[in-house]
Structure 1
């Protein structure tokens, strides 16, 4: 009995790493870590193609609502003003910080459209990229819930 006690005291004195020597069964125990499903990368430049109640580019086809995800930064154009902020993803979950924007005044319908767009972005909950390459951002805020759909913006070559 005294040899078991001595062995136990020696293990305690050497720290927890020595417990594996005193009890070989403990050395083989591994802790399973939960796996988070990997979503496709969000990085890139995107053009809004649909959102309930918003028809991007109407009345001018030159007005394009955009979002660019680089590192942990989000920036883009809301139809009237440039905006910027931060975003974070965990698997397919997406959260966007409060966005800051320039303060240019535009026609009221553009300002309303921009407000809805930025409010929807800030209510982002999750995202996915469908087989056709369309980015779908699901959002929910105090006023509404829905989806923002974006097409990738092709990068023009230098040649």
Structure 2
């Protein structure tokens, strides 16, 4: 475990920020250009399920180390962090919890939809809402936690 300070390199920091923002912007703008309405991706129940499973899953798995990871992960979006194998493991687990949360969001939303078929016109909207949980989970897993995993690895810190 290496507790060295993160190094701040302006060019590296700008590229990190551009990469993260660009990843999310490419997906979201592609959705909008395809005719999607951005607001249809935001469904509080699915967000709670996905973010909650990630946060509480990591909290029960890594406890205090997860709490120390949070500020380091935020800082890693701006500056090159020191390599840390345990932070790599936390990032790996976050990817897994995100996948689980996305799957649970879909399943639970579909159960809710199928148990209330009184409004047939609303079924399509509720199924679409269920799918938004997967989108959120994939964006967090691949757009944030893969990046953090690499940043905390020996290769990402070079």
Whether these two folds match at TM > 0.5 is no
Q: Report the TM-score when normalising by structure 2.
A: 0.29
Which structure has more strand as a fraction of its residues?
1
Greater helix proportion: 2
Higher relative contact order (CA 8 A, sep 6+): 2
